[in-house]
Structure formats: structure tokens, C-alpha cells
Amino acid sequence: MRTAADLADVPAGLHDESTPLARAAEHSVLARHGARFGAPVPRPESTRVMVVANQKGGVGKTTSTVNVAAALAQLGLQVLVVDLDPQGNASTALNIEHRRGVASTYDLLVDGAAIEEVEQPCPDQERLWVVPATIDLAGAEIELVSVVAREGRLRKAIHAHPRVGHAAEVGDDRLDYVLVDCPPSLGLLTLNALVAGDEMLIPIQAEYYALEGLGQLLETVEMVKAHLNQQLQVSTILVTMYDGRTRLAAGVAEEVREHFGEQVLRTMIPRSVRVSEAPSYGQTVMTYDPGSPGALSYLEAAREIASQGAPR
């Protein structure tokens, strides 16, 4: 189990490995200059489509989506974030315009627009693109009810993207990761994401009710696997809002590891004011305070995700 406080024992792939403070300072300088951070991580052979979902609110789902995406981009990978939450919080954190009328995931799902027509480059992070969500998306579930194959609309859109696919077909310009940020519910929008994805990343808060409702989510995953998407796997569990000073957090983390084993990342995300502040400035913590414990932890989590590869 690792948090930023343990970085003295973690080979972060930095040039200066003398002290955790020196590594944090170097990360801050590199991030603010838009430079690739640390040693390169392996590119996947084909685009990894990861769904970030947990119907329990307040577990750090959107926060984890945008910060893992930004961290992967800082590590030199090509990343696309699809904001599927009508609140548009991921779009806000990535400084992407998402007022009503802006081309968004609504156009993708309801009107069949192509992703390359609605994606926007993130202004604060190279190698990162975003499909924003607008308030129009709130009505999409109702509008999709009568549509044929409504649960497969997002999958069709993602796989039609010219930069999504295998290295042999798409080449070096391919997207390495597509991260889909789901709303905190198990409705038609989340179902679209589960059908579209090959993997799931589930953030779990290090609190007493962490596992509450997770059973329902996993039952839904099994139903989707049985009827709509056999490839879907829960590949990654990320413990968030971890407070090493409390026995409760350590107990919850241990229980999560007992349930999920190697699917749980060794790196845990500490409870951090800087992580919470960043979206109010239209930033991820990766650019807002690159040397903070939260940013360093998300960077290590992204490195783990990239290094472990896609599940087989």
C-alpha cells in the first residue's frame, strides 16, 4: 500500500532520486512546462477503453478520471476523456467549454455525431483530448429509450474513431487510452459506458461505507458481460481519500484488498485539500499543484495502470 508519503521508497522514474522533496520539485517544474514526466511507460498495443464507474457518489470518481488521464498524458501517452456525466464536472476540471449548445456527448449518443467532430484538446495538457458533457445530456436517457441498440451507441462511436484501434492498423498516432467518466447511477448512460469499455476502473473511498452498493455494481457488470459485452473486466480498483492516520482507513483498504487482490493498485490517493481545490480553478491537481502529495500519488497510480497492461 503506497501513498505520496511513501515516495521515498518508490522508484518514480525521476532524474533526481535523492529525496522525495527533490522529486516533487522536479515534477512541478516539468508539469508546468508541459514536459513529459519521468521515464517513458509502455504504450499498449491497442487502445485501452476504461470505464470509471461507481454509483456511490463522493468517492472521487470524476477526480480520479481527470487526474489519471492527465497523469497518463504527462507520462507521454495519448489520452481521450469522454465525459458522460450531465453535471460536466470532468469537463470543468479539464478547462473545457461545456455550456449548452457546445458539441458534446449528447450529440454523440442522440444524434450519432462522430467523436472527432466533438472532441476538444485540453488547453493545459498536451496529448489529452476531451469530449465534454453539457446539461443536454440529462435528457438523453429519455430520448434514447426508443432508439434501436441504444445501449451500444457509445461503443459504436468510440470504435469508429480513426485513432482508436490496434497499432498495426492505426499506427503511432493512435490513442493509448480512452477514459469514460460515468454519472453516479446505473442508468442508460452508465450502461452505454459498460458496453463500450473493455476494462473498469472503480474508485473506492477509504470510508466505512466504501463497499456499500458495490455488490449491485458488480451484479450489473456480470449482466452486461453475459448479454452485451463479454470483454468487460474489472481491471483496476483505486483506493481514494486515504487517511493513514486512522485505523478505519487502513481497515477499509485491507478489506478491499482481501476482496479484489491484485486488481487493487498499490498506490492509494491521500485525502487532499489541493485535489479538491483544483477543479474550482478549471484544472486537475496535476497542473494546479504538481508537487503535491495528491498529484504525485495520481502519477504513481497512472504509472501502475500503464505498466500492468491490459487484462488478458
CA atoms within 13 A on the CB side of 270: 21
Model confidence over 266-280: pLDDT tens digits? 999 999 999 999 999
Which pLDDT score, from 0 to 100, does residue 22 have? 52
Q: Which three cell numbers stand for residue 17?
A: 532520486
Residue with cell 477509504: 206
Residue with cell 486515504: 242
Residue type, position 89, single letter: N
Residue 193 near residue 151, CB atoms below 8 Å: no
Which pLDDT score, from 0 to 100, does residue 1 have? 59
CATH topology of domain 46-307: Rossmann fold (3.40.50)
Distance CA 269, CA 245 (A): 14
Confidence of residue 12 (pLDDT cuts 50, 70, 90): very low
Which pLDDT score, from 0 to 100, does residue 191 have? 93
Model confidence over 70-129: pLDDT tens digits? 999 999 999 999 999 999 999 999 999 999 989 999 999 999 999 999 999 999 999 999
Domain ranges of the chain: 46-307
User: In which order are the strands placed within the sheet that holds 79-83?
Assistant: 120-121, 128-131, 79-83, 177-181, 48-52, 199-205, 233-240
How far does the chain reach from its first CA to its final CA, in angstroms?
A: 24
Model confidence over 211-226: pLDDT tens digits? 777 888 899 899 999 9
Q: Which three cell numbers stand for residue 275?
A: 485535489
Distance CA 71, CA 81 (A): 12
Lowest mean pLDDT among 166-170, 188-192, 307-311: 307-311
Which pLDDT score, from 0 to 100, does residue 25 have? 56
Return all residues near 29 (Cβ < 8 A) that are at least 6 apart.
none
- How many of the other CB atoms lie within 10 Å of CB of 185? 13
Indicate whether 244 pLDDT > 50.
yes
Model confidence over 41-66: pLDDT tens digits? 999 999 999 999 998 878 889 999 99
- Torsion 41-121-136-111 (CA) sign: negative
